[in-house]
Structure formats: C-alpha cells, structure tokens
Structure 1
Amino acid sequence: MKVSLKSKEEIARIKEAGEILADCHKRISELITPGITTLEIDAFVEKYLADRGATPEQKGYRGFPFATCASVNEVVCHGFPNNKKLREGDIVTIDLVVNKKGWLADSAWTYPVGKISSEAKRLMEVTEQALYAGIAQAVPGNRIGDIGYAVGRCAEEANMGIVKALIGHGIGRKMHEAPDVPNFGRAHSGMIIKTGMVFTIEPIFTLGDIGAVLWDNDGWTIRSADGTLGAHFEHTLAVLEDGPVILTK
C-alpha cells in the first residue's frame, strides 16, 4: 500500500479532529472514578463528539457497536464498553477515533481507577515513556524500524511484554493507512520516514514478559494470554521538516 503524504492544509484538518479528541480525553480523565461504568463513559463520548460536530469513527467499523474501545486490566485492546462498575485499583484504556469533516485522529490512553498498585503504575509509566521514545524517532530520514526499536527497548529494559500483534498505522481519511508502525524492530531498517507522513504510534505492553494475546469469541476483545495487566498509549502525529508534531496532544 502506498503512503499518502499529507499537505500542511490536510495536516491542519487532522489536527482539528485531534484537538477535539485530546479535549475529550481530558474530560474522560475527570470522569474515571470507582463506580462509573465504561458504558457511561462511552455514552459521554458519543454526546461530546456530537456537540462538537464530530463523530466516533469506530462505531460501525466492521460492525463494532460502540463509540469507544474500553479495555480493563488484562484486556489490552478493543474491549467492549459494558455495565460493570470500575473498581478501585483497576486500570482502563479508552481508545477512540474522531472524524471531523472526513478527517480522522486516533488516540488511546490508559487511566488509573482510584489508587492502583505500584506494578500497575510502573506498567503505565513505562508504556507512556515508550510512546514518547518512539515519537522522538519520527524525523525525516529515519526509518520506521527506528521507531519500533526505541519503543521495544523500553519494554525489554523493564522486562515487560510487547503485544506484537497490534501496531500503529497511517491515518487520514481512512482509519488504517500505510505505513504500518510496529512496536518492535531493528534500528535503521524499514521504510524511510518522510515529511508529510501522518501515523499513530501506540505501544501496548503487558506486565508479563511474553506479550502474547488471545482473542475473545466476540472477535474484538483482546486479552493478555498470561492474564497480566496491559497498558496502551497512543498519539497521532505528523512528520514535518523539523520533526514530529503530535496532533492529539
């Protein structure tokens, strides 16, 4: 698949969606307390986006029925929102894609529910650090492998698992475009990063060092195979002449 290089005007359109998404995440962070359900969060997101003239791109994508993916504890990705109340000590990832006038932005964030364990906190910190380590490599002339290598090293040094089945991706008018952006790789390998590329970087790590996952029967929900906690942090970014700019910050 050919990479679509975006103009400054197109990047500005994606940034408009990204700013809505970033503010939505800020509101979500204020909502997450013990006792709230992920279905309540999902309903909030749908109304919030409608009020901003935007839509949740996930809803209806290949039959996905919700505005958000809500993944709790050992669910690492694509969890269905439900009526189960979040409990003190849980961690929950809310992942959403915003469509504003046909242009898309994508961001996931893992949140603590009340006071969490030191292990869970460390998992979240390492995964978020890996996101920014990857973003720092997204400069013209580097290669996609440089991003994966930087992300993967963070997990390896912390003895955490990399969920290799799930990767970052190009984005623009479609949710998934070229290039693929894995969370592991060899430095100085892969596609050359060029000005105008827009893609997501989204490390997903587990407390267990295997990183293997299992799919539920619903065809969407993905859990760590060893039952350990998973965390997921994601930004959409654009590559400009002087380096990366986060569009969902």
Structure 2
Amino acid sequence: MVEIKTNGELDAMREAGRIVARALAAAEQVAAVGVPLTALDEAAREVLRAAGAGSPFLNYRPHFAATPFPAVLCASVNDTVVHGIPGAYRLRDGDLVSIDCGATLDGGAGDAATSFVVGTPRQADLELVETGRAALAAGIAAAVPGARMGDIGHAIGTVGRAAGYGILADFGGHGIGRQMHEDPPVPNEGQPGRGFRLRHGLVLALEPMFTAGGADAYVMDADGWGLRTVDGSRATHSEHTVAITDDGPRVLTLL
C-alpha cells in the first residue's frame, strides 16, 4: 500500500534525513588509503548514536539474504555495486567506494548513498560517479506532482544509457516513510507518462546504480549481500530521499 505523508511527517523525515547526511559525511571523511571498511561503519554508527537515531540497516534481513545485515552502513568497493558488508578490507589507492546509510527517528526514516574515490582517481571513475549524480539530479527534477513514475525512471535511465553504462537489473529505488522500504518501487528505467501518478506527500528514495562495463546483470557475493558486476567493471551508486510536494521536489537527505 502506498502511504501519503502529512507535512508534519515530512518534517520528521527531514530530521532523519539530516542524520543520514551527517553519517555519510562522517564515513567519507575517515575513508583513506589503509583504513578498514569497519572504520567507515563505526563513524556512521557514532553519528546515529549521538543523534539517538536507529538504523534500518542493522539486522535487516530481506527474503534474499541468508543472514541479517551486520552493519549500519553498506560499503561497496570497485566492482561491488550495492549492499557490500563493511569488513576488514583496507582501502587502497584509487578504490571507488559507494556508501549507503539509513536512519530512523521519531517515526520517520531516511536513506541515501554516495560514491567517491579514495586517493588518486582514474578519470573513468570520476566520469562514472558524476554520471550517477547527474542521473539522480534528473530523477529528482522529474519528481513533481502530476508526473508518473515512468518519468522518473526515464530521466534516470536516459542519463545512464547515454553514457554507455549498464543499469542493475531488478534493483532500483523505493517508497520510504515510517519504514525504509515501502511501496511503490522506483525503477531506474521507464516509459514517460506511464506508471504510478505522483502527488504531494509521496516520498521516494531515488537511487541510480550504474556499471561501467555496460552490463545489467550481476553476481551475488558468497555472503548473500554484495552484488558485483559480471565483468569486474566498476560501479557507482547515488541516492537521496525525496518528497513530492506542490512546491517542487524536497530533498530530505541533504546536510
């Protein structure tokens, strides 16, 4: 069931969104050559603890997962697209890192992700990350009352396909509110003018996921969480929680 939020509920979600933004910023700040991924998770945990917020990631177990997720942050490196578990791996010069975090506070949830390069970047990686961000911006611009879900998917997919990138099959954004995952699903490709009609109070997590090799398929890690590109190419993941409002899109996960 799709839930439409009141303006008060949007304000509550904005507070959760600010915490997510701070957690992502803290994790990115500690990311450096030689630092283990567990340190990024701990930085995000400390932000959530200080704010009195909960984590919708910690112990989350969807139908496809063999075990509950053990962290508050997903940390996906190089060919891991999403859902990477932040373990003992130490970051290396030139690693492309995608981090994804959520928070719950006072009945509202927030969810966002960002990608960046540690140390010396490859130009191809910078272009991949920038394209993901541009696609997210295009999706946000399409998130207005009266538009259709297909308009968002079309905006995101057009940017990714024009750059020659793959778009992860069967994975996209989602509705969000009191819980991290709610209806409706938000595809990263779509037909304009088709699908669920957008209206004031609908809140969506938009999250383009692009693969540099151009393939849409993926393989799953042995842990049942991380999704990797089939050809070993690198990937990017960008995400914001966005409210549809009569005054235009309201991004709830900005600092």
TM-superposition CA deviations, 1:106-146 (whole Å, max 9, x none)? 00111210111011111001011000000000000000000
The equivalent residue for 1:106 is 111
Q: How does 1:16-35 map to 2 (within 5 A)?
A: 16-35=15-34
* 1:248 Cα offset (Å): 0.2
Is residue 62 of structure 2 the alignment partner of residue 44 of structure 1? no
Q: Is the 8 A contact 2:139 2:152 kept in 1?
A: yes
Is residue 79 of structure 2 the alignment partner of residue 80 of structure 1? no
Gaps of 5+ in 2: 62-67
The equivalent residue for 1:5 is 4
Q: Is the 8 A contact 1:164 1:184 kept in 2?
A: no
SS of corresponding position for 2:15: helix
Partners of 2:178 and 2:114 lie apart in 1 by 22
TM-superposition CA deviations, 1:163-221 (whole Å, max 9, x none)? 13211000111111111100001111111111110011000001011121111221111
The equivalent residue for 1:160 is 165
Amino acid at match of 1:218: D
Return the match for 2:194 from 189, 194, 205. Answer: 189
Please, what is the CA RMSD of the aligned residues? Answer: 0.9
Partners of 1:183 and 1:38 lie apart in 2 by 28
Is residue 146 of structure 2 the alignment partner of residue 147 of structure 1? no
Q: How many residues align?
A: 248
Partners of 1:102 and 1:81 lie apart in 2 by 27
The equivalent residue for 1:221 is 226
TM-score (norm: length of structure 2): 0.95
- Percent sequence identity over aligned pairs: 40
Partners of 2:251 and 2:179 lie apart in 1 by 18
Return the match for 1:200 from 181, 202, 205. Answer: 205
* 1:242 Cα offset (Å): 2.1
* 1:26 Cα offset (Å): 2.0
TM-superposition CA deviations, 1:64-98 (whole Å, max 9, x none)? 11111110000000001111110110011111110
* 1:29 Cα offset (Å): 2.4
Is residue 238 of structure 2 the alignment partner of residue 233 of structure 1? yes
Q: Is the 8 A contact 2:30 2:39 kept in 1?
A: no
Q: Is the 8 A contact 2:18 2:253 kept in 1?
A: yes
The equivalent residue for 1:94 is 99
* 1:28 Cα offset (Å): 2.2
The equivalent residue for 1:172 is 177
* 1:17 Cα offset (Å): 0.4
SS of corresponding position for 1:115: coil
Partners of 1:29 and 1:80 lie apart in 2 by 16
TM-score (norm: length of structure 1): 0.97
* 1:246 Cα offset (Å): 0.2
Partners of 2:165 and 2:13 lie apart in 1 by 33
Partners of 2:154 and 2:31 lie apart in 1 by 33
Q: Is the 8 A contact 1:95 1:109 kept in 2?
A: yes
Partners of 1:67 and 1:220 lie apart in 2 by 14
SS of corresponding position for 1:58: coil
Amino acid at match of 1:92: V
The equivalent residue for 1:53 is 52
* 1:5 Cα offset (Å): 0.3
Gaps of 5+ in 1: none
